[in-house]
Amino acid sequence: MKKDAKHAKSARTLQTWQLLGISSVCFLIAIFSLRANNLRAIELRNAVLAADKANADVDTALQELRSFTYAHMNTDLSGSGGIYPPIQLKYRYERLVEAEKQRVSKKNEVIYTQAQKQCEAKFSGPSYGQARIACIKEYALKNGVETKEIPDALYKFAFVAPRWSPDVAGWSLLLGALFALLALVRMATRAFIKATST
């Protein structure tokens, strides 16, 4: 019972300088934690870009980055490198564009072969050369496949970090602000008591 009273008294008797000291330590921890959050976000972004380049599992790397960004302060990458959005799956996009070109090229080759067969059957003989060429062109235009545009926006990402997060950085900032506020209240109270007592 006496111990509890003693602890309660010592907790009440924290000096202003002690409150400011605790606040400063909390803010220092917050600064280092915010920096660590940012470095981890950059590391995860680089893992996404490396997976994209190597044609590896981009989705898992992207999910890790997204989860980390949404759960930690100071992980917004929009200012890094001047590129916006900061995550662009350039290599995946280029591979898809190239695959689409290959698909269209193969289909058009088949269509051209079909056109040649049909038009040769229609216009056989040496005197039908021009008519056969016109027929092939018309068939290819009518049945040809065009390249589908792949929207690049589907391969660009920007994740927004929260203003406050319940991690080491967030709690340190909150505690630092709380202790600083307690110190200010104590100083204001003492100043008020001193002003009213004279």
d(CA 70, CA 175): 22
d(CA 9, CA 81): 54
Query: CB burial class (10 A; 0-12, 13-18, 19+) of residue 130?
Result: exposed
Neighbours of 26 (CB within 10 A): 20
Q: Structure tokens of 25?
A: 């330590």
Answer whether 24's CB lies under 8 Å from 175's CB: no
165/85: higher pLDDT: 165
Give tens-digit pLDDT for 96-126.
999 999 999 999 999 999 988 888 888 877 7
> Where are the alpha helices (H) located in 82-125, listed in sequence order?
90-122
The per-residue pLDDT for 178 is 95
pLDDT band at 28 (very low <50, low <70, confident <90, very high): very high
d(CA 81, CA 119): 57
The per-residue pLDDT for 1 is 46
Mean pLDDT of 79-103: 88
